[in-house]
Amino acid sequence: MESLPTDHLHAVVTGGAGFVGSHLCTELVRLGHAVTCVDDFCTGSPDNVRHLAGRPGFELREADVADRLDIDRPVDLVLHLASPASPADYLRLPVHTLDAGSLGTRNALALAQRHGARFLLTSTSEVYGDPLQHPQSETYWGNVNPVGPRSVYDEAKRFAEALTTAEAAAEGVDTAIVRLFNTYGPRMRSHDGRAVPTFIRQALAGEPLTVTGDGSQTRSLTYVSDTVDGILAMAFSELSGPVNLGNDTEFTMLELARLVIELTGSASTVEFIARPTDDPAVRCPDITLARGKLRWEPLVPAREGLARTIDWFREHPGA
């Protein structure tokens, strides 16, 4: 399979009004591509793509990907991001999350098949669960509790990967899978439950930063522009994946909290609270494959990315 040309494509982005999806739509439009942004706004918002309204080739369509997805003009690329992605959201919307990973993936794949388009699934590091291998490479099968509170997201993405792989083998759909690790940046929602927006919101309000457990659990933070660049590098490649996209610099949650306090200049303190069930102890990608095959690696250091994100939250206090 030859890689896609990189000019004048029509891309359909499901979940395109969400956090990562809106940045992806913005970059595609900037590169001169036509974009149909599909979102049901269960966690995304039209405000995230309002700046694209009126741009040539851009369309925002409210729709649930769990329903049949029809596009009446030729499609070159289907980028499937639609799904609640934070614990607060997928615990609030468990069946919707499972539908997005199953029916939504099936419908997005069917759209790609009808148009002869390349299909890219944004999967997640959550497929590794609470990993017993560290760092996590794409060959690791994971350690997931299939009936735990996080399973609605973990298993939805694992099923989506299996379905994508099956459609490629059985139907000849040109597919790709990327696994995203802890992306952060502007347009996150302050109450979505993830560590970065929670810590920033609390620090800017002068509240204690609530660190779960003893704060020794680790995460690897990828600034959103790096994630978008990785998604597009994969989309325009010939690889099928899965390929990890993440930053291989680890932070403990306590280190992250202290860094946010420093960068905000806050007088906040740290407060330790109960750690959620099945919360992974470690999370760090092996990005050897992305570096070697995609010539991609994260470029934005954590201090810089967090400073940009803090500035955005200062400018959008009601986010």
Instruction: Give residue for tokens 């890689």.
Output: 3
- Reference 210, options 142, 256, 146; nearest CA is 256
CB neighbours (10 Å) of residue 249? 12
Active site residue 223: no
Report residue 272 as tokens: 């330790």
Does a cis peptide bond (omega within 30 degrees of 0) precede residue 242? yes
- Reference 220, options 153, 149, 124; nearest CA is 124
Q: Is 292 helix (H, G, I), strand (E, B) or coil?
A: helix
How far is Cα 35 from Cα 78, in angstroms, rounded to an integer? 10
- Reference 270, options 224, 228, 214, 309; nearest CA is 214
Q: At what angle do helices 253-264 and 302-315 cross, to 10 degrees?
A: 60
What's 82-118 look like in SS3? CCCCCHHHHHHCHHHHHHHHHHHHHHHHHHHHHHCCE
Which of 90, 128, 153, 223 is the catalytic position?
A: 153
How far is Cα 219 from Cα 126, in angstroms, rounded to an integer? 12
* Residues with a known catalytic role: 153
